[in-house]
Amino acid sequence: MSETEVSPGPSALGSPQARALSASAWQSVRPAMGLVSRVPVGGPLALQVAKPVLNASLAALSPAPKGTRVSTVKTRFAGGQVRGDWIHEAARHGGSIPSPDSGRSILYYLHGSGYLICSPRTHRGLVARLVRRSGIGAFSLDYRLGPRHRFPAGGDDAIRGYRWLLHRGFAPEQIIVAGDSAGGHLAQDLLAANHRDGVGQPRAMYLISPLYDPSFEMACALERSGVRDPYIDAAGARRMLRMYTGDADRDHPRMRVQLTPDMNLPPTLIQYGDREVMADDARAIHANILAAGGTSTIAPWRNQGHVFQMFPYFTPDSRKALRDAKDFLGRHL
């Protein structure tokens, strides 16, 4: 395990000049996002070219707050590997990673990616802001991505990471699971696996622009109805996802995860932007939780796109949404 302290980027200063710089940088990264979302059928090479640029840009545009400490984990567990970052504030608990013995809650974070891009590093700023606002630590999982690894490798890693936390001594009621985009799909898969295997469910769940349908047919249908996402081309994103899902049946129980009334589902908060093509995915998950007898609050954010919470220097709604998330987390610590 290695540990580093993260310094904020220039946009973390919050000055008008820094915000203008961030806005300019955002305009420069959008072409890379467009390239990735429009990868042709034979697109692994295009993905290989665009991925480092996109990941580095996202990390720079969503900096971690000053005082954030990161401890990297790479270990073997249950016949596989667990990789990820402990993210916590240096000033809290002597700068040490969260301990099960403290009785305090932790956040188990599953980053978005389309199952192809991003990492705990790209989402470090978002997770660190959630940690700082809620006063807890987080473990951000580094799961396997396509096209090198295919469905359900990422889901298997998310399940293994949760059970590694239990093995370390954390009780299920100490863990709040959170995820954005594809990470929201992983979170649903985790709940179904816990039920299947008799493992305790996390205390609560927070989802940002979550994915329900990895075939992306729901998103394509919403786009054909006239919705224009500022960042995601649905048809291109569907081709991207196939680099991970391959020929998996869209009705495979781990593709469109079914939540049933016999499951002990945690209370859930779902946030999404009303301009994104994955809005129907968020609404479907909310409806599924309610139909299964669970508790879910869904919050559409007007004129916002996909995972806008990552970028606090582009829109004040990012900070407002995270304050709402903090309030939700605080009720379940």
- What residues are labeled active site? 181, 276, 306
Separation CA 290–CA 196 (nearest Å): 20
Give the largest Cα separation in the chain, rounded: 53
Contact 173, 200 (CB under 8 A): yes
CA-derived radius of gyration, the chain: 18
Contact 268, 282 (CB under 8 A): no
Query: Which among 17, 30, 26, 28 has a CA at the least distance from the CA of 62?
Result: 26
DSSP state of 14: -
Q: Which of 32, 17, 185 is nearest to 115 (CA)?
A: 185
Q: Are 273 and 301 in contact (CB under 8 A)?
A: yes
State both tokens at 299.
């919050």
Structural element, H or E, at residue 15: none
Count CB-CB contacts under 10 A for residue 193: 20
Query: From the CB of residue 261, how many other CB atoms can be counted at a distance below 10 Å?
Result: 9
> What angle do helix axes 44-61 and 234-245 make, rounded to 10 degrees?
110
- Give just the sign of the alpha carbon dihedral 122, 211, 138, 330: positive
